[in-house]
Amino acid sequence: MHYEILGRTESEAPTMLLSAGLGGAGRFWGPQLAALEQTHRIILYDHLGTGGSPAMLPDDYTIDDMAGEALALLDQLEIEHVDFMGHALGGLVGLQMALLAPARIGRLVVVNAWSRVDVQSERCFRVRLALLEDSGVQPYLHAQPLFLYPADWLSEHHDRLLEEEAQALVHFPGKANVTARIAALRAFDIDTRLAEIASPTLVVAARDDLLVPYTRSERLAAGLPHARLALFDYGGHGLTVTVPEAFNAAVAGFLATETR
């Protein structure tokens, strides 16, 4: 698996593993790096089957598999304990890691994630899969920002989004891999196991998220024993990109006040 290690180099510095959403690329977290590098050693990685970690994923691929791959990466790097931040699918990976290896996960930040997929998210994923299957990769990628960002932000950043779309087309991981990853997140269900996760957790959501209703994050915050909820009125599913300063401040406040 492709990974990068950034930030502080002292042996006593806390380590944070950053896990991206459906796209899987570690550089998704670019707007957060400058802030996090002040306090942490940062591990960015590309999920297996995406970006710089090419692989053909099996049809029965699961979030449990993704969590095992992240833990194997930590084993390879000889890192026993990390803080973790994940966006959407990446947040599911962190929740599953906290169930599989609770002693290895300190503070947990999950962004626009869920314990069980919502019917609205199901609707969005069905539409996206239909675009991919019936219309092809380019229409799938062209529609993707509609599910991620508020309308005014889309309008203001139109040229940037076209450039990102062109790059995504060049690095597209393949229809089979995308389909397998969507199937994995749709099948994820730990709704009855939230009380088992002991990590101090910041649950972040945006009220205007089209893809994942913020009520899913409210459910997470209510079910996790040591959670606090940071609810944004604006930002959409990709609030790490649309409102990075406010998002980074919320995370910094959590990390500064919550012990591992």
> Could you give the CA distance from residue 175 to residue 35 in angstroms, rounded to a whole number?
35
Q: Could you tell me if 16 and 82 are in contact, meaning their C-beta atoms sit under 8 angstroms apart? A: yes
Q: Would you place residue 39 in the very low, low, confident or very high pLDDT band (cuts 50, 70, 90)?
A: very high
Residue 260 has pLDDT above 80, yes or no: no
Q: What is the pTM of this model?
A: 0.97
Domains of the chain and any CATH numbers = 3-257 (3.40.50.1820)
Is residue 49 within 8 Å of residue 55, measured between CB atoms? yes
Instruction: pLDDT band for 43, please (50, 70, 90 cuts).
Output: very high
**pLDDT beyond 80 at 18:** yes
Contact 106, 82 (CB under 8 A): yes
